[in-house]
Amino acid sequence: MANIYTIINENTLGAGASTSLSDNKQAIKLTSKAFTLVIQAEATGHASCTDDIRVHIRGSIDNDDYSTVDIGAYRTGYFNIPVSDDAGNTVRVITAHDFAYNYLKLIVENLDTSYDASDILIKANIKTQDVS
């Protein structure tokens, strides 16, 4: 069974700017039935952009106190949307994760300090299974 949620939907993200945790439409809530989290992220870089969009992943055990740094002491707690590889066009990335947190939120950062990014959409697909 899959549960798909829109997490971030931003028309424009300024050069060098970031969203905040409060920009998340909702937290990603992981339960004991969740066995895979798939994140689909897309954005359009300016036609002249030379850097990418970074999606930071932050965790919480109570949906209140989120980590102040990216999660994962032993693995990377972020991924990039490589908009500079196809500047001016929408680039979509799909990543799969297995996290030991109850709640997750995302921060989107425009690494390009000269140009805005647009049409930023991030969805989460929480795949669950029946646990007897």
pLDDT in tens, the chain (132 residues): 568 899 999 999 999 999 999 999 999 988 777 668 899 999 999 999 999 999 999 999 899 999 998 886 556 789 999 999 999 999 999 998 877 778 999 999 999 999 999 999 999 998 776 555
Residue 119, by phi and psi: left (phi above 0), alpha (psi -120 to 50) or beta?
A: left
**Residues 28 and 124: beta-carbon distance below 8 Å:** yes
CATH code for the domain in which residue 50 is found? 2.60.120.40
Buried b vs exposed e over 83-100: b needs ≥16 C-beta within 10 Å?
bbeebeeebebeeebebe
HSE (side-chain half, CA atoms, 13 Å) at 8:
30
pLDDT at residue 126, as a whole number: 84
Domain count, the chain: 1
CA 57 from chain centre, in angstroms, equals 6
Range of the domain at 92: 2-128
Residue 24 three-state SS: coil
* Tokens read off for 33: 């039935």
CA distance 27 to 98: 16
